[in-house]
Amino acid sequence: MKIAIASDHAGFDLKEKIKEFLIEHEVFDYGTTNLDSMDYPDTGFEAAKAVSNGDCKRGILICGSGLGMSIVANKVPGIRAALCQTKQFAQLSRLHNNSNILVLSGRFISEYLAKEIIDVWFNTEFESGRHQKRLDIISNYEKEK
């Protein structure tokens, strides 16, 4: 699967570790490339746009808390970004929300937990049904804007 990944300086270390265990995927890294302080919207928008325009099927964004990247990604049409701190949230974000971007906190979760969250996120299918109707309401809102 083609995956867009991006972080700011606070998520850089976790981003690099995550890339090591995404070996079965084709990963497109939208930066950042080092620990120098930078602005998370600059990399987050580029990765989210790659998912929105179909260049990548899913995305993973990381900043210090995950909050900034979530806000950025959810501004991009077609993006359903979910900040997940637990495996259960990752599972629900796929089952009910068909999340296409996973957002992680570089400063608040371990590498081990990040890997577990990612595994669940990739291995859980959207339930559709009543949840699709709700996502359609969101899509229609985007189209009306």
What are 59's strand-pairing partners? Answer: 4, 101
Site for ligand RB5 in 30-49 (CB under 6 A): 40
Structure tokens at 56: 């990548």
DSSP-derived 3-state class of residue 70 = helix
Compute the distance between CA of residue 76 and CA of residue 79 in angstroms, rounded to an integer: 6
CA 113 to chain centre: 15
If the CB atoms of residues 68 and 94 are measured against ligand RB5, the closer one turns out to be 68
Among 10, 51, 102, 118, binds ligand RB5 (CB under 6 A): 10
Residue 74 lies near ligand RB5 (rule: CB under 6 A): no
Site for ligand RB5 in 75-134 (CB under 6 A): none
Active site residue 63: yes
Compute the distance between CA of residue 16 and CA of residue 54 in angstroms, rounded to an integer: 23
- Candidate segments 20-28, 58-66, 121-129, 130-138, binder of ligand RB5 by CB under 6 A: 58-66
Q: Hey, which residues are catalytic here?
A: 63, 96
